[in-house]
Amino acid sequence: MLWFLLSLLSALMWATADALTKRFFSDLNPYEMGMIRLLYLLPFLIPLLFIVSIPPLGAAFWAIVALLLPVEGAALFLYMNSIQSSPLSLTLPFLSFTPAFLILTGFLFLGELPNLWGAGGIILVVAGTYILNLNKKAEGAWGPFRAVLAERGSWMMLLVSLLYAYTSALGKAAILRSDPLFFGPFYIIALTLFLLPFLLLTKRVRIAALWRRPWQGMAVGGAAAVMLVSHYFAITMVQAAYMIAVKRLSPLFGVLYGGILFGEEEIGVRLAGVGMMISGVFLITLLG
């Protein structure tokens, strides 16, 4: 049962980090928001590298990391842009598309067909998206789908979900060539070192903005650190599919944060939509 509580904690802390980032740093640009998320994680993660053993790292590992970092950076800044520009309840639920995209990429590139459970899960995710966008402005049968394209943060997070399908597959390959407890902190540190010099040189990030609210930044970093640590402890206790399925409850917490902290509207309808999307994720992850 401990694995379940840790997985649930990981989901809650993921949504908490998003809510704190939106609450305290939405006045910055998305690049600065993303770097604050990474930089304030470092004080919590760097000590872990002195605790875990460093496994042998071959050429294949470094090649995978080189392919991962640019895409992960693009996903991070799209993610920040999404939660900055739109309600949490209309952005975070779209992360539920990542497992569906993994099935679709498996079909397109490997010819792998989903079983009935996987196909049913995809249908539930799409149906949940429809319910999520049911409102007075979404006129006609196709209105809720058009609303996704009209809401900047929604289609951005949908793109993030697609990028995460790519990074999830490659990330798994990197973990198999290293160690889960090592790869977590290493990857965040590597991503920070990869992005920060470029963003400073191109003046997309102002140093003063990064240190303007240190305590709020530490709160964001602390929530993200708890999310990562609980994730990796949980995944060592149970099959990865079960842990990931529970962690996919994160959008549910995000919708609740949207209603409680930001006064977002139509939370009841959006909870119904995200509930259906999460049900689809459970089918895909556990049975698909």
pLDDT of residue 288: 63
pTM of the full structure: 0.88
The answer to whether 163 touches 75, Cβ cutoff 8 Å, is: yes
DSSP state of 283: I
Cβ within 8 Å of residue 12, ≥6 positions away: 250, 253
| Greatest C-alpha distance within the chain | 58
Q: What is the pLDDT of residues 157-178, one digit of tens each?
A: 999 999 988 888 888 889 889 8
Query: Distance of CA 17 to CAs 46, 222, 226, 233, Å?
Result: 19, 8, 10, 19
- 249 vs 34: which has the higher pLDDT: 34
Say which amino acid occupies 63. A
Cβ atoms of 160 and 101 within 8 Å: the answer is no
Helix (H/G/I), strand (E/B), else coil: 239: coil
Closest CA to 247 of 273, 216, 226: 226
141 has pLDDT over 60: no
Domain ranges of the chain: 2-287
Q: Which residue from 249, 161, 198 is spatially nearest to 69, judged by alpha carbons?
A: 198
Under DSSP, the state recorded for 114 is P
The answer to whether 86 and 16 have CB atoms below 8 angstroms apart is no
Cβ pair 174, 65 in contact under 8 A? yes
Query: What Cα–Cα distance (Å) separates residue 197 from each residue in 21, 188, 200, 272?
Result: 22, 15, 5, 43
Res 139: pLDDT: 59
Rounded Cα distance, 80 and 26, in Å: 9
pLDDT tens-digit map of 29-72: 999 999 999 999 999 988 888 888 889 999 999 999 999 999 99
Alpha helices in the chain (DSSP H): 2-25, 30-39, 42-49, 59-85, 97-110, 116-132, 143-150, 152-176, 180-201, 207-210, 214-235, 240-247, 250-262, 267-282
Is the pLDDT at 18 greater than 90? The verdict is yes
Model pLDDT for residues 88-136, shown as the tens digit of each residue: 988 988 888 887 887 777 666 556 667 788 778 888 888 887 777 776 4
pLDDT level of residue 238 (50, 70, 90 thresholds): confident
